[in-house]
């Protein structure tokens, strides 16, 4: 996110526009928490994780009178346009803040920049943070794989992804895992347990003597708690392998949790943040509003929903309302993209095991 803040600041200042940062998102706007952003304020931030402006949840922003207060603060501060960097909540707030039905005849201009490690925003191929999170998962899994291989063990590794299994799916491929569990598959608990047990037994059969390690990546959004999953899998493995040493078939669990959300941004994330920040602020400077800067959408973008940015052939400016609508069906697992992801995984599931 810092890369986007830096790029937006530098490009706007080069165009002769004053830039301020709002700390802690919508909460900071309500608290009038503005900080000036000059060139020297953003120079070294590119390599820092998280966001130098901070972040906060702000449930009250759903209320019209709270947004009226926010608009009054912007007017008093002389702010004409906002680059809103964040996920579904932040972008929903941006859309409502600039809604002409409630903002009168001079609503603030808003252009969003997608930032969510879950990659759960519609009409963008990637959001800021996804690549860094994947690199963290891959590094952690490579380390876990050493123990798993040395001890012939099965590990279930839980990664973030509340509504969307993207991180679990892609990191399973990047890690060479044996199975990925994600909410889009919509599997019942007993089916999940059977799937894990079948995977473990298939690996053990294939590798009669050595390296019988099994790595299973589970998305947080799969509602079965990981400890219950482990207990059910262990019980079933004992039942189906009565002659095996109990310790040789016992699974281990690692929950990566917030480790996945921090750390120095990868080179690609720095580039992505910079490019999206550039495209977003240039759109604002050109008077555009209700848009999101997007990175090469993996799905068709209908002509009515957006167009390629003239400043970057890999970036699009898509209609914010269309993004929010697509996000809603994506996280419900019902969008064509969510269905394609789940279907593609079903097709390669057997191959993952080979």
Q: What is the DSSP string of 202-263?
A: HHHHHSSSS---EEEEEETTS-S-HHHHHHHHHHHHHHH-TTS-HHHH-EEEEE-GGGGG-S
- Give me the 40-79 binding string for ligand F6P, x by CB under 6 A, dash otherwise: ----------------------------------------
Name the pairing type of β-strands 291-295 and 154-159. unpaired
SS3 345: helix
Min dist. Cβ of residue 299 to ligand F6P (A): 21
Buried b (16+ CB within 10 A) or exposed e, 254-290: bbbeebbbeeebbeebbebbbbbbbbbbbbbbeeebb
Q: Please, which residue, 13 or 261, has the CB nearer to ligand F6P?
A: 261
Min dist. Cβ of residue 134 to ligand F6P (A): 13
Count of residues interacting with ligand F6P (CB under 6 A)? 9
Is 118 in the active site? yes
- Of 18, 32, 118, 190, catalytic: 118
Q: Does position 131 bind ligand F6P by CB under 6 A? A: no
Q: Please report, as residue ranges, which positions from 251 to 280 form the binding site for ligand F6P (by CB under 6 A).
A: 261
Q: Please, which residue, 233 or 323, has the CB nearer to ligand F6P?
A: 323
Contact segment (CB under 6 A) with ligand F6P among 41-49, 155-163, 277-285, 341-349 equals: 155-163
Taking CA atoms, 106 is separated from 21, 74, 149, 283, in Å, by 21, 11, 62, 17
| CB-CB contact of 110 with 283 (8 Å) | no
Min dist. Cβ of residue 159 to ligand F6P (A): 9
Q: Does position 162 bind ligand F6P by CB under 6 A? A: yes
Binding site for ligand F6P (CB under 6 A): 87, 116-118, 160-162, 220, 261
């Amino acid at each position: 996110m810092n890369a986007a803040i830096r790029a937006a600041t530098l490009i706007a200042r080069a165009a002769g526009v004053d830039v301020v940062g709002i700390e802690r998102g919508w909460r900071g706007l309500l608290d009038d928490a503005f900080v000036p952003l000059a060139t020297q304020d953003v120079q070294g931030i590119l390599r820092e994780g998280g966001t130098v402006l901070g972040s906060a949840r702000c449930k009250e922003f759903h209320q019209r009178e709270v947004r009226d207060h926010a608009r009054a603060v912007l007017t008093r501060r002389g702010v004409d346009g906002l680059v809103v960097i964040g996920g579904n909540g932040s972008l929903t707030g941006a859309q409502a803040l600039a809604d002409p039905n409630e903002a009168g005849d001079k609503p603030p201009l808003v252009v969003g920049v997608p930032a969510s490690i879950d990659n759960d925003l519609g009409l963008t191929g990637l959001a800021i943070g996804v690549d860094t999170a994947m690199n963290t998962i891959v590094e952690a899994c490579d380390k876990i794989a050493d123990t798993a291989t040395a001890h012939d063990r099965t590990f279930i590794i839980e990664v973030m992804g509340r509504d969307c299994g993207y991180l679990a799916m892609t990191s399973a491929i990047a890690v060479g895992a044996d199975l990925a569990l994600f909410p889009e598959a919509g599997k019942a608990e007993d089916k999940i347990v059977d799937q894990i047990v079948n995977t473990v037994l298939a690996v053990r059969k294939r590798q009669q003597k050595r390296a019988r390690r099994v790595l299973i990546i589970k998305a947080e959004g799969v509602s079965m708690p990981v400890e219950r999953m482990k207990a059910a899998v262990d019980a079933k493995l004992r039942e189906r392998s009565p002659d095996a040493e109990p310790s040789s078939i016992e699974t281990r669990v690692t929950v990566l949790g917030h480790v996945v959300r921090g750390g120095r941004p990868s080179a690609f994330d720095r580039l992505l943040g910079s490019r999206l920040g550039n495209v977003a602020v240039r759109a604002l400077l050109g008077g555009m509003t209700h848009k999101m800067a997007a990175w090469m959408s993996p799905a068709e973008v209908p002509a009515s929903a957006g167009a390629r940015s003239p400043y970057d052939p890999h970036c699009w400016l898509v209609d914010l309302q269309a993004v929010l609508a697509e996000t809603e069906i994506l996280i419900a697992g019902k969008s064509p993209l969510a269905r394609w992801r789940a279907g593609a995984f079903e097709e390669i599931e057997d191959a993952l095991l080979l």
